[in-house]
Chain A
Amino acid sequence: MTATEVAVRTYKPHARPAWRRALLTRETAIVVILVLVVVVSLATVPNFDSPLTATYLLRDVAPILLIALPMTLIIVTEEIDLSVASIVGLASVVTGLLTQAGLPFPLAALAAVLVGTLAGAFNGFLVTVVGLPSLAVTIGTLALFRGIAVGLLGTTAITDFPESWTDLAKANIPGTPIPVVMILFAILAVVFAVLLHFTPYGRSLYAIGLNKDAAAFSGIDVARTKFQLFVLSGAVSGFAGVYFTLLYSNARGDNAMGMELQIIAAVLLGGVSIFGGRGALHGVIAGVLLIGTLGSALRLAGISSDIINVITGLLLIASVVSTSLLAWLQTRRFGALSRRRRPGDDRRPQPAPQ
């Protein structure tokens, strides 16, 4: 609880009213932009209002949404997991091989999640026990897990999965255009949100991200916490791998190649600081949906995918630039105070005492 008090004290003396501060947050901005993009697309993009759009959109972003949850927690602690998409591929291959070997699908899926969990534990071990930087570790395991996945299955694919399961992966909640997998995501999102924003454990994550030495001195087991996060990330990625496999009826070693960048981009767009200690899950969810919606709307509008990539890239850069610009403006405004802050900390400076 000591960490909590430290964190709370940092934010207490605000001169502006709560509603204005809420409006000014990065997360609110992303949510507002998301709503705007949805409204504008509904009004201007032909066929965007079809229920199919929502179904396809949510189905495609589901793996990204799922993995973005643990990724947010990891980045908040100033670490990163670049191996998530490779774990998706590995879990996909494991699901495929075991199903092919005649194992009942639920057991194959369970084994895939377990493999993902072990992969995450391996990351966690290297980061916390061996003490290597997570960027280096997960660049390594990105290649390692992908290599194992492609090595196990080669360039072929396993495509024969029980129809009841592939249908479930594509099924909608009856009467709505919302895929069933969103129920699971909603549950997970609530669990993660409560964990991150309403528990001492969540506060300890921010504390670690802001200053891990201070966090350690205040009694937080930094290593254990980080280890748990990598395990969690591996488990969720493993599950996402099973879902991905069912969605495309396709177990391949190169499944979800490059998805780690989409996930991290969406997390950063959602307002999580790459320097740790800052971010909120609703921003991240809005960030993932924003990139997904924008891509869907632009494709429907007949914009070519090169240009969509350019637009998404510019959006990300703009979001980073706007944050820096905001920080710079505040530095000018609260210069005297801000100069005392540590570099890389983009929290809003406190106004001078009146």
Chain B
Amino acid sequence: MFGPNPKRRAGTAVALALGIALLATGCGNDSSDSGGGGGDGGDANLAITFLPKNLGNPYFDTSNAGGAEAIEEFGGSYEEVGPTEASPTSQVSFIQTAAQQGVGALVVSANDPEAICDALDEARSADVKVVTFDSDTNPECRDLFINQASAEGIAKVQVDLIAEQIGGSGQIAILSASANATNQNAWIEMMEAELEASHPDIELVEVVYGDDDDQTSFDKTAALLQTYPELKGIVSPTTVGIAAAARYLSTSEHKGTVALTGLGTPNQMREYVKDGTVTAFALWNPADLGYLAAFAAQALVTGEITGEEGDTFEAGRLGSYEVGADAAVLLGDPFVFNAENIDDFDF
């Protein structure tokens, strides 16, 4: 109560001050024993925390399960933490927590290349190794980046798939995300170059943008097929676009005659692969990505590598990897999903 009695106010103010003082001094006094907390106590601190963009995301459930598998193989301890929504600054408190716990390494998919940089720097100064995967930060904020696929590889696999599916000639269109999506535009540029170089008989008639919105992408697909009656194939380098296009095609007369490929996830595309709308599409294997990231973290923690270009390390069943420029490690070529293998995946 805000009553008129100053003594009472003073009393509660003192209580509050005591509370804050307790918080402050309590924390200050025990600084000595907090150094190696949370570690295993062994030679190398193999406590590894995975921090996805957000929790409850099937993609990260798959990748982090790969990480957990690897950590079990080399005998570390696995933990997954993360925010419920993928906002740039929401990851900061989890990075801080990992630093406080003194984990050996943090494997993070960044919601923003810059927003978590300072927090990562602070964690690294507390001896936490930082590996980014899936989505990188600025190179100077982490020890290693596990790159799922190179832009060249992504562009090439999509061109190869569509060329194969339409028999090497005819009109194709691209259904992208938004017109200013940096990665999509880079891929499209490389795809155009690759088409020109290797498939002169394929004509790219138009690039349309579905804004990564399901309905917009659906409508743009319909419009493409009306505008270009001769269209033989669509490439959609975005998981939202390819699923919407597949949904349109599967109920249209063009089902099975107009080819569709691009980047998609197995769960979204399963029914369209099974009903014959889509033959094959690409993405990387997120379980392998998490698996590789965990082994990379281990190699950093044990001092096997430092992140120098040319460093090599073993990653269990995936074999040997070499650190490339900008302390990045490339998982490999994109993975092609088709009717034979799609049931092996759940994300």
Contact surface of A with B, Cβ cutoff 8 Å: 7-8, 11, 18-19, 21-22, 25-28, 31-32, 34-35, 38-39, 42, 46-47, 49-54, 56, 60, 157, 159, 166, 170, 176-178, 196-197, 206, 248-250, 252, 254-257, 278-280, 282, 285-286, 289, 293, 295-296, 299-300, 302, 304-306, 309, 347-348
Question: Are B115 and A304 in contact, with the CB atoms below 8 A?
Answer: no
Choose, from B24-32, B144-152, B203-211, B268-276, the stretch at the interface: B24-32
B4 touches A300 (CB 8 A): no
Give the contact-size bracket for chain B. Answer: 35 or more
Residue of A nearest to B23 (CB): A38
Q: Given B8, B29, B31, B56, which contacts A18 in the complex, CB threshold below 8 Å? A: B8
- A250, B30: Cβ atoms closer than 8 Å: no
Assess whether B1 is interfacial by the CB under 8 Å rule: yes
7 smallest CB-CB distances across A and B, nearest first, come from A50-B34, A49-B30, A159-B114, A54-B27, A250-B115, A56-B96, A22-B8
Q: List, in ascending order, chain B residues with CB within 8 A of A289's CB.
A: 19-20, 23
Is the pair A305, B12 in contact by a Cβ cutoff of 8 Å? no
In residues 1-60 of chain B, which contact A (Cβ within 8 Å)?
Answer: 1-5, 7-9, 11-13, 15-16, 18-20, 22-24, 26-31, 33-34, 37-38, 55-56
Interfacial chain A residues near B34, Cβ < 8 Å = 47, 49-52
Whether the Cβ atoms of A293 and B2 lie closer than 8 Å is no
| B interface, CB within 8 angstroms of A | 1-5, 7-9, 11-13, 15-16, 18-20, 22-24, 26-31, 33-34, 37-38, 55-56, 79, 81-84, 87-89, 92-94, 96-97, 99-102, 112, 114-115, 117-118, 126
B83 near A250 (CB under 8 angstroms)?
no
Known: A18-B8, A22-B12, A256-B89. 18 other contacts (CB 8 A): A22-B8, A38-B22, A51-B31, A52-B96, A53-B27, A56-B96, A157-B114, A159-B115, A248-B115, A249-B114, A249-B117, A252-B112, A252-B115, A254-B88, A280-B12, A289-B20, A295-B93, A304-B55
Give Cα A256 to B79, complex, Å: 27
Our pick among A280, A300, A348 for the contact of B97 (Cβ within 8 Å) is A300
- Do the beta carbons of B118 and A166 come within 8 Å of each other? yes
B22 contact from A35, A53, A159, A309, Cβ within 8 A: A35
In the bound complex, what is the Cα–Cα distance between A28 and B126 (angstroms)? 37
Pairwise interchain contact B12-A178, C-beta atoms closer than 8 A:
no
Is A249 a contact partner of B101 (Cβ separation < 8 A)? no
Number of A-B contacts (CB under 8 A): 166
- Asked whether A305 lies within 8 Å of B114 as measured between CB atoms, the reply is no
Residues of B near A170 (CB, < 8 A) are: 118
Are B82 and A305 in touch, CB under 8 angstroms? yes
User: Given A11-B4, A25-B12, A47-B100, does the pair A250, B112 have CB atoms closer than 8 Å?
Assistant: yes
Could you list 25 A-B pairs, sorted by A, with CB under 8 Å?
A: A7-B4, A11-B3, A19-B8, A21-B1, A21-B3, A27-B12, A38-B22, A39-B22, A46-B37, A50-B27, A50-B30, A52-B34, A52-B99, A56-B93, A157-B88, A157-B115, A248-B92, A248-B118, A280-B12, A282-B13, A285-B16, A289-B19, A289-B20, A295-B93, A299-B93
A18 CA to B55 CA in the complex, in Å? 49
Collect the chain B residues with CB atoms within 8 Å of residue A282's CB.
12-13, 16
Which residues of the other chain, B, contact A28 by a CB distance below 8 angstroms?
12, 15
- Say how far B25's CB is from chain A's closest CB, in angstroms: 9
Are the C-beta atoms of A257 and B87 separated by less than 8 Å?
A: yes
B31/A60 in contact, CB under 8 A? no
State the CA gap A221–B118 with chains docked (Å).
Answer: 47
Q: How far is the CA of A316 from the CA of B27 in the complex (A)?
A: 27
With A11-B3, A157-B114, A177-B27: A38-B19 Cβ-Cβ less than 8 Å: yes
Q: How far is the CB of B118 from chain A (nearest CB, A)?
A: 6
Contact in complex: A31, B27 (CB < 8 Å): no
Q: How far is the CB of B94 from chain A (nearest CB, A)?
A: 7
Measured between alpha carbons, how far is A18 from B3 in the docked complex, in Å?
Answer: 10
With A56-B96, A157-B114 in contact, is A51–B12 under 8 Å at CB? no
Q: Pick from A18, A278, A348 the residue with the most CB of B within 10 Å.
A: A18
CA distance A250 to B118 in the complex (A): 10
A305-B81 in contact (CB<8A) = yes
Chain B neighbourhood of A252, CB < 8 A: 88, 112, 115
Contacts of A56 in B (CB 8 A): 93, 96, 100
A143 to B284, CA, bound (A): 38
Contact indicator B118/A300 (Cβ below 8 Å): no
Contact B2 A278 (CB under 8 A): yes
